């Protein structure tokens, strides 16, 4: 229930060798200090690599990347599948949810009464009830965000090194617009809620949305006009580059590096992160809840050119808001007092996002995923609680929308208690292959671990055929 011992919430950035926070006898408003601090803030944006890749593609005659993107709604803590998407009303009372079932727009398919908006539009989505999450844990939440069963830092010393989906996309595809980061995390309550770039290097870590205000704030009397003074900047870049540690993890100061500063000085990224630019009608439509506003921000980011957004649907920095062990096991409560208040908020944000993307002509390009680390135990009242459910790393449910996939279906099933996969297991590797299929990352893509051994981005998986066809 608490953060894993020994896991610090601070992490060295990719520009330690530049000493970006060392004043060197000067204020940060000096041009040299600004450049170093700006580079530190750009860690994870991979803009120079994207610019280089786009130039190479143009030179070779290959098409630039499409505008495909992913929004992953990460339900930190493990949402209860048997109380949401795979209810068992005929089960004995010690298993049965306190919630009622309601019909959906898919004939014969029923889900929780507290998800009426999803029920009404389930024909636009896919419900997967047979996700195999046997190796998954939380704090850190790695397996289901990397598709690697060994990505479990509690059990494996190298578990934290397997790269996140977003990091793979960032490295092998980049952003959809050169003025935007490729991979962004929003509402992150703890570093243990997220998988990172690991073996790929810190340059492919996500850009944290919480850093936005620092990212775009220019110190002192420095103006955008001065920042755009290419001639004056070139000397500073050359001097910093001469001091660069060649073993550093980001090739940020090559001939494309200057263009990376356009993100700091340009308007596109600043505007994308600015919700005040949305019409009041749209703000009202999403609502004022923190998760809903962050969901709207996710839509703005992919529309502006971000390729992958992970939204941490949590209020807490420990194991996560969906970790409903029981009312007598604070702070998250059980199914009735803990889960029940979350469901209308989640129902609203997911349905609003899907409809908004559809109305804006974006839904075919944007793949929306909603999932957590695992499901919850079929038996209710575990751990001496009144109505809590324990972790259940055997099976879970998740939803998929958009991506120009086949929807209006339910994939897989569980047994009569919701405790075991009944048919059509969907593995983490299948999920990864489906994401990379959408994003145009070849499934035989590899990266090198610290011993120089190649590792495939997809292991033991293939794109979910019911979604992608074929």
- Mean pLDDT in residue range 380-408: 96
Instruction: Count other Cβ atoms within 10 Å, centred on residue 86.
Output: 26
- Mean pLDDT in residue range 422-442: 97
**Assigned domain for 12 exists:** no
- Would you place residue 157 in the very low, low, confident or very high pLDDT band (cuts 50, 70, 90)? confident
Residues 396-414 pLDDT 10s? 999 999 999 999 999 999 9
pLDDT at 147: 95
Task: Tell whether the model's pLDDT for residue 43 goes beyond 60.
Answer: no
E strand spans, 356-402: 366-371, 375-376, 391-392, 396-402
Structure tokens belonging to residue 40: 């530190």
Helix (H) or strand (E) holding 71: strand 69-74
- Lowest pLDDT segment from 148-157, 236-245, 358-367: 236-245
**Assigned domain for 115 exists:** yes
pLDDT at 61: 47
Task: Tell whether the model's pLDDT for residue 45 goes beyond 50.
Answer: no
- Mean pLDDT in residue range 121-138: 96
Compute φ and ψ for 352, nearest 5 degrees.
-65, -45
Task: Tell whether the model's pLDDT for residue 173 goes beyond 60.
Answer: yes
Work out whether strand 391-392 and strand 375-376 pair parallel, antiparallel, or are unpaired. antiparallel
**Assigned domain for 302 exists:** yes
pLDDT at 155: 85
Task: Tell whether the model's pLDDT for residue 326 goes beyond 50.
Answer: yes
- Mean pLDDT in residue range 68-78: 98
- Would you place residue 49 in the very low, low, confident or very high pLDDT band (cuts 50, 70, 90)? low
Structure tokens belonging to residue 294: 């962050």
The pTM of the full predicted model, rounded to 2 decimals, is 0.82
- Lowest pLDDT segment from 28-42, 138-152, 192-206, 310-324: 28-42
Task: Tell whether the model's pLDDT for residue 225 goes beyond 80.
Answer: no
**Assigned domain for 63 exists:** no
The mean predicted confidence, pLDDT, of the chain is 82
DSSP state of 452: S
Task: Tell whether the model's pLDDT for residue 236 goes beyond 60.
Answer: no
- Lowest pLDDT segment from 166-180, 220-234, 284-298: 220-234
**Assigned domain for 424 exists:** yes
- Mean pLDDT in residue range 435-451: 96
**Assigned domain for 338 exists:** yes
pLDDT at 212: 63
Domain count, the chain: 1
Percent of the chain at pLDDT > 70 equals 74
CA neighbours within 13 Å on the CB side: how many for 419? 11
Residues 353-373 pLDDT 10s? 999 999 999 999 999 999 999
Residues 208-221 pLDDT 10s? 986 665 555 555 55
3-state secondary structure (DSSP) of residue 127? strand
- Mean pLDDT in residue range 175-184: 92
In angstroms, what CA-CA distances link 304 with 14, 37, 225, 245?
A: 25, 25, 24, 33
Separation CA 425–CA 416 (nearest Å): 16
Task: Output 7 or 402, whichever has higher pLDDT.
Answer: 402
pLDDT at 11: 36
- Mean pLDDT in residue range 59-71: 69
Task: Tell whether the model's pLDDT for residue 264 goes beyond 90.
Answer: no
Separation CA 194–CA 11 (nearest Å): 13
pLDDT at 100: 98
- Mean pLDDT in residue range 428-438: 98
- Would you place residue 261 in the very low, low, confident or very high pLDDT band (cuts 50, 70, 90)? low
In angstroms, what CA-CA distances link 415 with 21, 82, 380, 403?
A: 56, 11, 16, 30
**Assigned domain for 75 exists:** yes
pLDDT at 331: 87
pLDDT at 46: 46
- Would you place residue 159 in the very low, low, confident or very high pLDDT band (cuts 50, 70, 90)? confident
The residue range of the domain holding 170 is 68-175+182-204+282-468
Structure tokens belonging to residue 131: 């996700």
Q: What is the CATH number of the domain that holds 380?
A: 3.40.720
Full DSSP string of 7-43:
--S----TTGGG-TT--TTS-TTSHHHHHHHHHHHTT
pLDDT at 302: 98
């Amino acid at each position: 229930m608490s953060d894993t011992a020994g896991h610090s919430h601070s992490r060295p950035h990719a520009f330690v060798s530049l000493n970006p926070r060392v004043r060197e006898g000067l204020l940060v408003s000096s041009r040299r200090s600004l450049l170093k601090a700006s580079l530190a803030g750009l860690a994870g944006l991979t803009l120079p690599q994207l610019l280089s890749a786009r130039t190479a593609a143009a030179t070779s005659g290959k098409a630039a990347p499409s505008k495909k993107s992913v929004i992953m709604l990460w339900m930190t803590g493990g949402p209860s599948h048997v109380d949401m998407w795979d209810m068992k009303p005929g089960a004995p009372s010690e298993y049965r949810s306190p919630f009622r079932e309601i019909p959906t727009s898919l004939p014969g398919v029923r889900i929780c009464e507290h998800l009426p908006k999803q029920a009404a539009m389930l024909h636009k989505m896919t419900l997967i009830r047979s996700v195999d999450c046997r190796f998954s844990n939380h704090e850190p939440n790695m397996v289901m965000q990397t598709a690697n069963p060994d990505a479990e830092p509690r059990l494996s010393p190298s578990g934290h090194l397997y790269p996140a989906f977003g990091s793979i996309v960032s490295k092998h595809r980049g952003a959809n617009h050169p003025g935007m980061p490729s991979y962004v995390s929003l509402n992150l309550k703890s570093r243990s809620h997220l998988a990172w770039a690991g073996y790929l290097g810190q340059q492919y870590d996500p850009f944290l949305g919480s850093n936005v205000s620092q990212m775009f704030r220019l110190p002192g009397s420095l103006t955008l006009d001065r920042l755009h003074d290419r001639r004056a900047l070139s000397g500073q870049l050359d001097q910093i580059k001469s001091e660069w540690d060649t073993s550093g993890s980001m090739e940020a100061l090559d001939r494309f590096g200057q263009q990376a500063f356009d993100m700091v000085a340009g308007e596109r990224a600043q505007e994308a992160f600015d919700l005040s630019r949305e019409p009041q009608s749209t703000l009202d439509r999403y609502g004022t809840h923190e998760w809903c506003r962050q969901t709207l921000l996710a839509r703005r980011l992919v529309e502006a050119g971000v390729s992958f957004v992970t939204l941490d649907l949590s209020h807490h920095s420990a194991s996560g808001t969906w970790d409903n062990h029981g009312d007598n096991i604070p702070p998250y409560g059980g199914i009735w007092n803990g889960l029940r208040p979350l469901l209308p908020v989640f129902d609203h944000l997911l349905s609003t996002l899907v409809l908004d993307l559809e109305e804006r002509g974006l839904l075919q390009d944007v793949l929306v995923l909603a999932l957590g680390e695992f499901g919850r135990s079929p038996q209710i009242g575990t751990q001496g609680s009144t109505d809590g459910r324990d972790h259940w790393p055997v099976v879970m449910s998740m939803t998929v929308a958009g991506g120009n996939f086949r929807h209006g279906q339910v994939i897989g099933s569980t047994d009569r208690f919701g405790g075991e996969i009944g048919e059509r297991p969907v593995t983490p590797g299948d999920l990864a292959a489906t994401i990379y299929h959408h994003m145009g990352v070849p499934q035989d893509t590899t990266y090198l671990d610290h011993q120089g051994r190649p590792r495939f981005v997809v292991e033991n998986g293939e794109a979910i055929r019911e979604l992608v066809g074929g």
